[in-house]
Amino acid sequence: MKKMAEAYSVNVDPVAVAMITILSAAIGNTTRVLPKKGWLEPVFLWSVIIGPSGSGKTPFVTKLLEYLYTRQSQAYRVYQDQMEGYESKIMRVANRNAVLRRPQLLRHVVSDITIESLALAMESQPRGILSYQDELSGWILSHDQYRAKGGDRQKYLELWNCNPWLKDRVSGSQFIRNTGCTLLGGIQPLVLPRVFQEDSFVDGLLPRFLFTNLSERPYSNLSVTDEDLYEWNSILHYCYQMPLLRDEREDTIRYKIISFSPDAHDIFAKFTNELKERKHGALQVFIPKLISYAVRLSGILFILRDNKEDKINVDTIKDSIRLVDYFLGQVKGIMALYSKNGTQYSEQDERLIGVLKASKHKVESGELSIDIIAREFNRDIAEELRLTNQLIAYKLLNMGLRTRITKGHSYVIWEQSVTEKLFSVC
């Protein structure tokens, strides 16, 4: 961790968080943690690296993901071979009543993906997958982009708990009993409060994430060698070798169950009660999920330590609590982003706000067409400065306005309090 942080000129925290998040995907659905009877907790983590654009979020994460990309390449070659055999069989049985099962690509890591494609990916990979979102804001903005009725966000809220997915469409139904997804992404500090708005606190989307701040360090001549990566890849390989046991009769997974020792459970109970009793103010919505993360992290640490015991011990639960304390501190930092006053707007932003102000008489039923905004914004300016409808929608969302898509057309929802505040600033 320290060597990679130095080589990529960043602090060690985001490297460590990225590593343990990727490992949670490698362990996946093989394991559940049992703090007490009736409570089974998965180990999937959702983590966000906060840093300005160009601060170096992408390079070290890409390096850490090389092992997964290699596994994905191997799976793709197998898929290609299976497809050739499938197409050959289709040719031979074209005039018969044979039913052939089309091969599925086994997924390990995904990035730009719709909710429908994610469902297919999890169906082919019951172990669970890693969704890496280089720019998490784009992931948030893509929710319900192709669906007039919405529902993507709700599906992700369910996914954090690994709840089964039942999807009914005109084309048919799909039931995925064993869901599982690790999320890892990056976001810019000023973008975070604009993308995760008040509704993210209400529905619990924001508290589902663990946060870590990236800060740049002086340039170093140090490089990460293949020998260094061998150590990291060996740990990943160890986790991926954990067997995924299936009960074919009931079409479900038989998890490896890790429980707490009595002493570890006493420490966890004390930590939970003390955390609940504190007055956290605006942070209160994060507390239930952080308690769950204490359980998830204890399961990951247990597996990485290859304990001879069959239960999570005192040392492991104490270390998972220390990690949760760290993440609670990071949450306090991001909450400060929501209280900062005075937003800096670029010339492009100011032009867009001016267009909004000039077009307010065209608002109908509380909405303004983004086609109208784009047409006015792009009028009489150089081609290289023009914005697409999608970029305009993204900018409007960052300014605090909500957008929606219906029947292929985009609209900004005209909220008087937000627009008047924008007009007063610019």
DSSP string, 224-268: --HHHHHHHHHHHHHHHTS--EEETTTTEEEPEEEEE-HHHHHHH
- According to CATH, the topology of domain 2-338 is Rossmann fold (3.40.50)
Q: For residues 309 and 263, is the Cβ–Cβ distance under 8 A? A: no
Which two structure tokens, joined as six digits, stand for 89? 């069989």
Residues forming CATH 1.10.10.10 domain(s) in the chain: 347-425
125: nearest Cα among 28, 198, 248? 28
Q: Is the pLDDT of residue 193 over 90?
A: no
Three-state DSSP state, 409:
strand
Rounded CA gap, 201 and 197, in Å? 7
Residue 309 pLDDT more than 60?
yes
Paired strand residues for 405: 410
Identity of the residue numbered 252: T
- Which conformational region is residue 365 in: left (phi greater than 0), alpha (psi within -120 to 50 degrees), or beta? left
Place of tokens 């979102």: 133
The whole-number pLDDT of residue 147 equals 47
CATH 3.40.50.10490 describes domain 347-425: no
Type and span of the H or E element at 379: none
Q: In what order do the strands lie in the sheet with 367-369?
A: 367-369, 409-413, 403-406
With 0.75 as the threshold, say if the pTM is over it: yes
pLDDT above 70: percentage of residues in the chain? 90
Helix, strand, or coil here: 8?
A: coil
Between CA 43 and CA 258 the distance in angstroms is 11
pLDDT of residue 91: 62
All CATH 3.40.50 domain ranges of the chain, comma separated, are 2-338
Q: Is 187 exposed, middle or buried (0-12, 13-18, 19+ CB in 10 A)?
A: buried
Mean pLDDT for the chain overall:
86
Region of poorest pLDDT, from 7-21, 33-47, 98-112:
98-112
Helices and strands in the chain: count of H runs, count of E runs: 17, 16
Please name the residues in contact with 71: beta carbons below 8 A apart, sequence gap of 6 or more.
108, 240
Is 90 exceeded by the pLDDT of residue 297?
yes
How many whole angstroms separate alpha carbon 19 and alpha carbon 224?
Answer: 15
